[in-house]
Chain A
Amino acid sequence: MLAVTRYGAANLAVLLSPDDGRPAHQISFGARRRLDPSLAGIGALIVIGFGFGALAPPYYLFVVNTAILAAIGAVALQLLLGYAGQVSIGNAAFMALGAWTAAVLGPTIGFLPSIGAGGAVGALIGLLIGLPALRLAHLYLALSTLALQFIVEFAFNRYETATNHSAGFQLPAASLGPLDLSSDQSWFVLLVLVLALIMLLSWFMLEAKPGRAWVAIREHNVAAAIIGVDVTRYKLLAFTVSSFYIGVQGALFAYYTRVTSAELFTLDSSIAYAVMVLIGGLGSLPGAILGAFIVTLLPLAVNAVGNHMLADSQLGTFVTKNLPFLNQLVYGLLVLAFLYFEPRGIAGLLRRYALGRTGSRQAEARSVA
C-alpha cells in the first residue's frame, strides 16, 4: 500500500514534513503551511487504499485493518508525546477502557453510541490522569500512566471474573443504520474514514492555537507560561483529546474482533505504541501511521523470512521456534537504530532522502540550522 517510488518519496516527504522543510522540533509560531501537496498525497493514498480494499484477500485485509486501528492509536499518542511532549505509557489502558465500555454498553445502546461512549470514558479518565501531570515533570507523568495501565488491567480482569466472562466479552455485530458492517471490506472503509477524520481533526488542531501551545509547552513549559500560554488548559486538552481517540480506537477494536478481554491490553502493547511513534518520528502525524504499519506488519515479514526463505535450515528452525521473541528483538533494534542514526524517525529519513534527491541545498541548510 505504501510503495514509495522516487517521485512518491518526494511527495511523501512533503506530506510528512510538519513544516516547510524544517525539522519537527523547530516549528515556530505563526508558521503557515501550504496544505495542498499534503491533501493531494492523502487523496492518492485513499484511492490506493480503496483499490486495495476492493481487491485484497481477506487475510491481508484483516492485517491491514489491524494496522489502521493501530494507526489511530499511534496518531493519538503522537499528539500527546510528539507535540505536547507528555510521555504516556498507558495507551493500552485507554484502549481497554474504550473496549470495556463498548462491551458493556454495546448490546443496549448500539454501535455508534457505544463507540462515542468508549471515547468519552477514555477522555474522562485521560483528564483525571492528566490532573497530576499538571504539577509533574515528564517522568512522574509517565509513571502515573504506568500506574493507570496496571490498575485498569486489574479492574477489567476483576470485572470479567465477577461477571463470569473469564473468556472475554462477546460483542454484537456492528451496523450503521441500514449498513451492515460484518465484512472485512466494510470495516476497511469505515476504519480508513475514521483514521482520515482523526488525521484531519488533528491537523486542524495543530495548525490552530492548541498545536502552537502544545509545541511551546513541549519546548519549555515555564517559558510557554510566561508568553501567555495557558499551560494547564492545553496540557489537559492534549490528554483529553489523545485519550478520546484511543478510547474510540479501543471501542472500534472490540467491535471489529467481536470479542474482547483484559488480556489484549497489556503493558507490552502500550510499549508497542511508543515504538510506533519513535520509529515513525516524533512530531509527525503521517510518521505515526507509517510506524503503526511497520510495527503491525513486521511480524509477518519476520514470519515469512523464517518460513519460506530459511525453511529446512537450522537457522529457519531457530527462527520459527523463537518467532515472538525475534519480533520483539527486531522492534527494539529498529528503535535503537533510529535513535542512533536518525532520531527523527522515518519522517526524518524520508525528508532527508527527498531533500537530497531534489538537490535543494537551501532547504537542507535551513533544516540543519
Chain B
Amino acid sequence: MSLIPELAVSSLAPASIYALLGVGFVILYRGTRVVNFTQGQLAFIGALIFVTAYDKFDHQFFLAAAIAVGAALLTGVLFHLLIMSPLTGQGFLVLGLFTLIFGFHILGGVVAMIWGVLPFYFRVPLAREAIELPAGAFTSQVDIAIIATAFVVIGALAVWLRFARFGIAMRASAENPTLAGYVGVNVQTTATISWALATVTATIAGIASGARHPIDFSMTSLGLYVFPALLIGGMDSIIGVLVGSIVLALVQTAAATYLGGAWTDVTAYIVLLAVLVVRPYGFFGTPEYRRL
C-alpha cells in the first residue's frame, strides 16, 4: 500500500514548521524557564512583517526575509528588555499566564489594528507543482525548501548550543541564576539572546508556514498546536522537539486522511493528553525534581 510513505512524506513539511516553532520554545525554556505561549503570535507578526516588506520591495524574497529576521531579532531583544525582564522573579505560573495574555490580548490587538484581519499571500520563487516520488508519494519544491530550511536552521542551532560557550551559559542560568552569575555568566544577556533566538526561529516558521497557507489569524494557534510536539519530545530537548514534531505531523496527517480535515487540530490535543498521562516529561526531556 502506498498510503504509508505518502503520509510520511506529506507530513514532513508541517513537521518542519512545528520543529522551527518548537525549537525557539525549547531555547527559551532552556535559557529562561519561561513557558512561552506567544510563539504563534511571534510567528504571525514575523510573517506579516515579511509579507509587508515583500510587497514593498518588488517581491524580492531574500531581501524581505532578511528584513523580517532583522526585525525579529530587534523585537526579541526589546521584548525581553522592556517587558519580560522587569517581570523576572514573578514565578513561572504567573509568567506563563502572562505570555498567554500578552500574546492574545496585546499582540493580537496591535496586529489587528495595524494589519487588519484579512489574510495575506505571497509567492515563493519556486514551483508549487507536485513532484512524484517513488512509492507513490508526492512533494513539491516549496515543501523541500521548507524542510531544508528547518534542517539547516535547527542543525546550526543545535551544534552551536552543544559546543559553544553560550549553550552552557544558557543551561547554567536557567538552572540556577544566582550561581551562574557567580561564575561569570551574564544572566540577563543570556536571557535576551534566548528571546532573540526564539523570535527569529518563530519568524522563520511563520514565513515557512506562509509559503503553504494564507497568513492570517489561524497562524496564532500554531503556537498552541506545537505543545503536543514539545511534550512528546520533552520541553528542553532539541532532538526531542524534532521527533515530537514528526510524530505530531504524522498523527495529524493520518487523522485528516482517515477521519476528515476537521479532526486535524483536535488530534494534536488528544495526543497531548495521552502523553501527559503516560510520560509527563516526554521521551527525551529531563524530569524536574524539586528540593525542599
Contact = CB atoms under 8 A, between A and B. Distances in A.
A226 interface: yes
A39 to B, nearest CB: 31
Given A150-B266, A340-B87, A329 B290 contact: no
Nearest to A137: B288
A85 interface: yes
B276 interface: yes
Interface stretch (B100-108, B129-137, B202-210, B238-246): B100-108
Interface stretch (A45-53, A67-75, A203-211, A330-338): A330-338
Contacts of B280: 132, 135-136, 140
Contacts of A275: 101, 105
B112 A339 contact: no
A343 B35 CA distance: 19
Contact of B292 (A138, A222, A336): A222
A150 B93 CA distance: 21
A233 B158 CA distance: 42
Contacts of B100: 89, 271, 274
Interface residues of A, number: 48
B231 interface: yes
A154 B266 contact: yes
Interface stretch (B52-60, B72-80, B140-148, B267-275): B267-275
Interface in B68-100: 83, 86-87, 90, 92-94, 96-98, 100
A190 B6 CA distance: 59
Interface residues of B, number: 40
Contact of B265 (A136, A140, A150, A274): A150
Interface of B: 35, 83, 86-87, 90, 92-94, 96-98, 100-102, 104-106, 108-110, 112-113, 224, 227, 231, 235, 262, 265-266, 268-270, 272-273, 276-277, 280, 288, 290, 292
B92 A138 contact: yes
A271 B98 CA distance: 10
B104 A268 contact: yes
Contacts of B94: 278, 282, 339, 343
B269 A328 contact: no
Interface in A323-359: 324-329, 331-333, 335-336, 339-340, 343
B275 to A, nearest CB: 10
Contacts of A194: none
Contacts of B96: 87, 138-139, 142
A271 B104 contact: yes
Given A89-B97, A324-B112, 9 more contacts: A131-B277, A150-B266, A150-B269, A151-B270, A267-B224, A278-B101, A333-B106, A339-B98, A340-B87
The 7 closest A-B pairs by CB, nearest first: A332-B105, A332-B106, A329-B109, A328-B109, A147-B269, A154-B266, A325-B109
A308 B86 CA distance: 36
Nearest to A155: B266
27 contacts: A85-B93, A132-B276, A132-B277, A138-B93, A139-B35, A140-B276, A142-B96, A146-B272, A147-B276, A148-B269, A148-B273, A151-B266, A154-B266, A226-B292, A267-B224, A271-B105, A274-B100, A275-B101, A322-B112, A324-B112, A328-B109, A331-B105, A332-B106, A333-B106, A335-B105, A336-B106, A339-B87
Please indicate which of the listed interface residues A85, A151, A223 has the most CB atoms of chain B within 10 Å of its own CB: A151
A295 B218 CA distance: 25
B273 to A, nearest CB: 5
Given A138-B96, A340-B86, A143 B276 contact: yes
Contacts of A325: 108-110, 112-113
A268 B103 CA distance: 11
Interface in A128-162: 131-132, 135-140, 142-144, 146-148, 150-151, 154, 158
A165 interface: no
Nearest to B110: A329
A221 to B, nearest CB: 8
A328 B224 CA distance: 19
A271 B102 CA distance: 10
Given A150-B265, A271-B101, A278-B94, A326 B109 contact: yes
A82 B265 CA distance: 31
A151 B102 contact: no
B90 to A, nearest CB: 7
Contacts of B83: 336
A136 B292 contact: no
A224 B92 CA distance: 20
A220 interface: yes
Nearest to A144: B276
A274 B94 CA distance: 10
Given A325-B108, A328-B106, A329-B110, A144 B272 contact: yes
Contacts of A335: 98, 101-102, 105
Nearest to B265: A150
A150 B269 CA distance: 7
A325 B106 CA distance: 9
A268 B108 CA distance: 11
A249 to B, nearest CB: 20
B280 to A, nearest CB: 5
B216 to A, nearest CB: 15
A222 B288 CA distance: 13
